[in-house]
Structure 1
Amino acid sequence: MKYEIILFDVDDTLFDFSMSQKNALHNTFVAFGIPTGLADYEAKYKEISKVLWGDLEQGLTTLSALGVERFRRLFLESKLEIDADKFSSAYLENLGRQAYLMQGAVEICGNLAGCRLAVITNGYANVQRSRIGSSPLHNTFEQLIISEEAGFQKPDTRIFDYAFSKLKITDKEKVLIVGDSLTSDIQGGINYGIDTCWYNPLRKENDTGIKPTYEIYKLNDILNIIE
């Protein structure tokens, strides 16, 4: 077996974050008395959030600041008089209840039973632990490496140091990271000197210059790499 330890990203790799985000946003807007909020503001929210998550990867902001700032900017631009702190807390609580899996996630984790599996994710610990814990994958992973707890986020090599310490890994050649983000998962793996697998189900063009070791379109294709 070429790889013995698989580090999985969570959002848009094993879990359908788009669906989770959509439902959490809708439920939060409804709770704040804006039933059409998702339809009215989702596009602008996603645009703002994407910028801030990019800033986080570059170390230009913190996770706690990001959580509130995305809604502060949204409400300011949309002229909504809503407390961004309270909205953010309610949104994260709603997000923690969303556990939609990507197609093939349960199957691939079952088929990789001979490997050591762990999660390495940028995100909020309570949210990610709640989502994984309420899913069919709740007993799947040896460790949940979450950036809020590690103190660093992908692609920073220090979150990989943290992961390797937790998992007691000594041989980088036995480790593969699987994720959907070129700038976070793949660049992080490259920075740390481990092999990378870009999960690209929508067959997006890679115009970044970041070169993964492997590219797959279905999760089960990982078996062809492992074997």
Structure 2
Amino acid sequence: MSTAVFFDLDGTLLEFTKPYREVIEATLNACLDRSTAALVETYNENFYEAFTAIEPEPYRHGMRAVRAEAESDVAPEALVSELYEREVAMTTVSDGARKLTESLAERHHLGVITNGLTEWQRAKLAHHDLLERFGTVVTSYEAGAHKPDSAPFELARERVDADTYVMVGDDYEADIEGGRQAGFVPVHLDRGVSGGTQVRDLGALSNLLDSLA
């Protein structure tokens, strides 16, 4: 029986080395020589407004609003470029996750289903030399809707023919409920809770997958 194992990206395969707010603050300090709570909030509000609606270039949408509020002549593209580099660099992959996914790739088709822009999400995988390990990368921007909508999961099914589809993620609503509704076997990565289809860490995933065979 063939099994396709899909992972969420941010917070599951990749962990963050610092709060994302600090990445925004560092970006504004680097480009504008200042960062205030109001500017960070302006960025977040405008970014998420565009991101939620799957509008093109949500990062630029957020930074244009920051630029206007700060009355700066710094190009929005410069702010976005700085944020891009910092967002990619602030992610990390544990040794356990590397070893596990290397082992799983020998037995299963591995993929990623992630809410985000294709270029940014694939860049994170490439930064950690993981892009080739995951044969299928599906982003919500490609699918036209964010998890838990069924569209990203359906697109993954279209790209991979398997008997069983598994979704591993840390976000209960987006990954677990979304995956379950789409017919995936959901595995909740909850580092504080165990039991049922929950696992504390990715190292516990191998045995669970073997039980599905």
Using the size of structure 1 for normalisation, the TM-score is: 0.73
Residues 133-161 of structure 1 show CA distances to partners (whole Å, capped at 9, x for unaligned) of 12142321111112222323211112111
2:127 corresponding residue in structure 1? 134
How far 1:189 moved relative to its partner? Answer: 0.4
Write the distance in 2 (CA, Å) between the matches of 1:217 and 1:74. Answer: 39
- The percentage of aligned residue pairs carrying the same residue is 23
Matched with 1:218 is 201
Q: Spell out, residue by residue over 1:47-99, the C-alpha distance to the aligned partner (whole angstroms, 9 max, x if none).
A: 946x938x82xxxx2253643455567788xx633579443454234424444
Matched, 1:117 2:116: no
Q: For 1:67, what is the secondary structure of its paired residue?
A: helix
CA displacement at 1:176 relative to structure 2 = 1.0
Paired residues in the alignment total 207
Match of 1:100 in 2: 92
**1:168-198: CA deviations, max 9, x gaps?**
34x3xx1110001112111210220221111
Q: Evaluate the alpha carbon distance shift between residue 141 and residue 102 of structure 1 in structure 2; reply closer, same or farther with a 3 A threshold.
A: same
**1:207 match:** none
* CA RMSD, 1 decimal: 3.7
- Point out where structure 1 has 5 or more consecutive residues left out of the alignment: 205-211
Partner-residue secondary structure (3-state), 1:32: helix
Amino acid at match of 2:27: T
Query: TM-score under structure 2 normalisation?
Result: 0.77
For 1:24 and 1:126, how far apart are their aligned partners in 2?
A: 19
Check if 1:200 corresponds to 2:190: yes
Structure 2 counterpart of 1:10, one-letter code = L
Task: Give the conservation status (yes or no) of the 8 Å contact 2:54–2:141.
Answer: no
CA contact under 8 A between 1:48 and 1:74: conserved in structure 2?
no
Any gaps of 5 or more consecutive residues in structure 2? none
Cα distance in 1 for residues equivalent to 2:127 and 2:19 = 13
Which of 161, 165, 174 is equivalent to 1:175? 165
